[in-house]
Structure 1
Amino acid sequence: MRVLAHFVPGEKVLKFLEPQMDWLDIRYCAEDDDETFHRELPDAEVIWHVLRPISGDDLSQAPRLRLVHKLGAGVNTIDVDAATARGVAVANMPGANAASVAEGAVLLMLAALRRLPELDRITREGRGWPSDPTLGETVRDIGSCTVGLVGYGNIAQRVETIVTAMGADVVHTSTRDDGLPGWRNLTELLSVSDIVSLHLPLTTDTAGLLGRDALASMKSSAVLVNTSRGPIVDEDALVDALRSGGLAAAGLDVFAVEPVPADSPLLELDNVVLTPHVTWYTADTMRRYLEFAVDNCERLRDGRDLANLVNQVAG
């Protein structure tokens, strides 16, 4: 079975997959290498997809393709309608990266709340002593905060477990009142939270969800963390809020445009912690991804039902 893996493997990935090499023919391609990607597409039966969008035009160049398997949960980077029209199954891996993204979200909370990038820089420059007296006015413990989770799926619930153990109060919102303790509507959640953490898929309903008015309704001392998708936040409005003191800080793993443009004003702000869409990317998550990916390839090979399909195609 020919698989086009749209990423560059490390040694652990290759070692994990070695026992499958008698029936899997895996061709690897860096996400920014479109030449190799399009050269391999005509022979691919399965694509292991990460982030580089797969368009209808891409799919039209893959006549043998039977499955696009997202390594992750969000399928907004796949033209699912075009895949369905061509009889190509699309599957994802819900929950496989939940532990890693949850820890990454808490990492960003702590780094933003504790002004970590700034303190790291001034310490390296020899300016860390005497201590900045504003630390005692601005830096806080997570355990003293109310953490608001926007979206309440696998990742958000893991974040809740971690920050609750640290002493935080947690509120959450979701599509509708779920009847669980701590549920708030979005307006109330934004107004009461010291940390707001986003855990939503990107859809037509969630794009721009945190616009200028929503950001203005947050506490000026609040921290915004986004490990879901960049376009959920109005990035221009966020920059304005961070510059003006409307928000204290932000921790961002995702952006409106990825990679982040070199002229993005976010790169100039001291009160922003940035990572390049990698909170999911750990050895542990990669192992889980590969387990899911190999399992669905085995199902495809053996004519069994595929797991975690997000579309319906004719048998």
Structure 2
Amino acid sequence: MTIRILAAGDHFVRSDLLADALRQVVPGGADIRELTLPWPVVPFGRVGEVDEASDVEEELIEALRGVEICVTQMAPLTRRVLDACPDLKLFCVSRGGPVNANLQAATEAGVTVTFAPGRNAVATAEHTVAMLLAATRRIPQTNADLARGVWRGDYYMYDHVGPELEGGTVGLVGYGAIGSRVARMLEGFGAEVLVYDPYVTGVPGQVELEELLRRSRFVSLHARVTPETTGMIDAKRIALMPAGSVLVNCARGALLDYDALCDALDSGHLFGAAVDVFPTEPIPEGSRLLTTPNLVMTPHLAGASKETAAKAARIVAEDVARYLRGEPVAHHANPVLAAS
């Protein structure tokens, strides 16, 4: 019997990348179909009961007719999709976490969900260091002034220049695949690195969060969002940071109180900040973030690189190959199903 596979890509992890990765590892007789979703031309959002998905339930249901395996980045695996697609058995999300999949409903339907941990670790780590430097040396602001023909000598004044990384202390909140890479990069700059992560042990420079904030001139967030970490960097904790510090968030918007961030920048307590993620995406019109000084922003693209897209396609394709060989998949998202 021919195995039908849907490669539901988008304009980043493209359908052809997914299909090509599949063809390298799955049997030649597989029927691989392609569907292109609109992200990032059309922003993702909440679809049904899942987050960060493309609003394409109707198109997905139609494309999944008779399909056993779906590989995707942004397709919504909602209860409605599951109810309409009884042939579906494997749903592979080419992201670091399957936030666009209803894991409980998938488990109830007997659908295995996988994901692609570490796919963007290198890209995000590099972007984090770039954002740290951009905020510390005020690169976007000075570039914008020069682009409109303004040469501002006041940027060279002592009170307006930022600190160096060499000899400075950088605090990393989270030490997973991304945070650990950032640490290695920063050590190359000659910085002292402190780490707060309750889920790892034996890391050099490991301290409690409050101590990290008090000692660090630079702080970068790399934690996962959990009930415990949501809003963890609030006004009280920002106030612990030394005056003139720099704060970077390329992880998740929910980790940081953005009103408190804006207050700290407005008051001058923070020298600068750089963020790639936001509490609401896209940023709403009229948001304080659009007018707060000394804030560097990028539109949630820290993990965007050609290598990230290729790795994502390869990771999910390899799990499809394991599934077809009757082996356990490597990156199971619904472990109750895996154990049953």
Cα pair 1:70 1:92 within 8 Å, conserved: yes
- In structure 2, the partner of 1:28 is 36
Query: What displacement does 1:26 show?
Result: 2.4
Cα pair 2:21 2:314 within 8 Å, conserved: no
Unpaired runs of 5+ in structure 1? none
- In structure 2, the partner of 1:222 is 245
| Higher deviation after alignment, 56-65 or 22-31 | 56-65
* Distance in 2 of aligned mates of 1:77 and 1:11: 17
| Higher deviation after alignment, 305-314 or 163-172 | 305-314
Sort the Cα spacing of 1:178 and 1:19 in 2 relative to 1 into closer, same or farther, 3 A.
Answer: closer
- 1:152 has 2:175 as partner: yes
What do the CA deviations read for 1:167-186 (whole angstroms, capped 9, x no partner)? 11100011157133200100
Query: Normalized against structure 1, the TM-score is what?
Result: 0.89
Cα pair 1:241 1:247 within 8 Å, conserved: yes
What do the CA deviations read for 1:111-156 (whole angstroms, capped 9, x no partner)? 1111111111111122225452336653222223211110111111
* Distance in 2 of aligned mates of 1:128 and 1:305: 61
- In structure 2, the partner of 1:85 is 108
- In structure 2, the partner of 1:38 is 58
Instruction: Give the percent of matched residue pairs that are identical in Structure 1 and Structure 2.
Output: 31
What SS is found at the alignment partner of 2:140?
A: helix
Cα pair 2:178 2:222 within 8 Å, conserved: yes
- In structure 2, the partner of 1:123 is 146
| Higher deviation after alignment, 116-125 or 49-58 | 49-58
Cα pair 2:18 2:314 within 8 Å, conserved: no
Q: 1:97 aligns with which of 107, 111, 120?
A: 120
What SS is found at the alignment partner of 2:231?
A: coil
Q: 1:68 aligns with which of 62, 78, 91?
A: 91
* Distance in 1 of aligned mates of 2:315 and 2:212: 35
Sort the Cα spacing of 1:55 and 1:242 in 2 relative to 1 into closer, same or farther, 3 A.
Answer: farther
What SS is found at the alignment partner of 1:248?
A: strand
- In structure 1, the partner of 2:17 is 13
What SS is found at the alignment partner of 1:144?
A: coil
What do the CA deviations read for 1:57-100 (whole angstroms, capped 9, x no partner)? 44444433323323232334433222222222222222221111
Cα pair 2:172 2:179 within 8 Å, conserved: yes
Number of aligned residues: 315
| Higher deviation after alignment, 82-91 or 21-30 | 21-30
Structure 2 letter corresponding to 1:2: I
Q: 2:302 aligns with which of 279, 295, 302?
A: 279
Cα pair 1:3 1:47 within 8 Å, conserved: yes
Cα pair 2:235 2:260 within 8 Å, conserved: yes
Unpaired runs of 5+ in structure 2? 45-53
* Distance in 2 of aligned mates of 1:129 and 1:163: 30
Q: CA RMSD in A?
A: 2.7
What SS is found at the alignment partner of 2:142?
A: helix
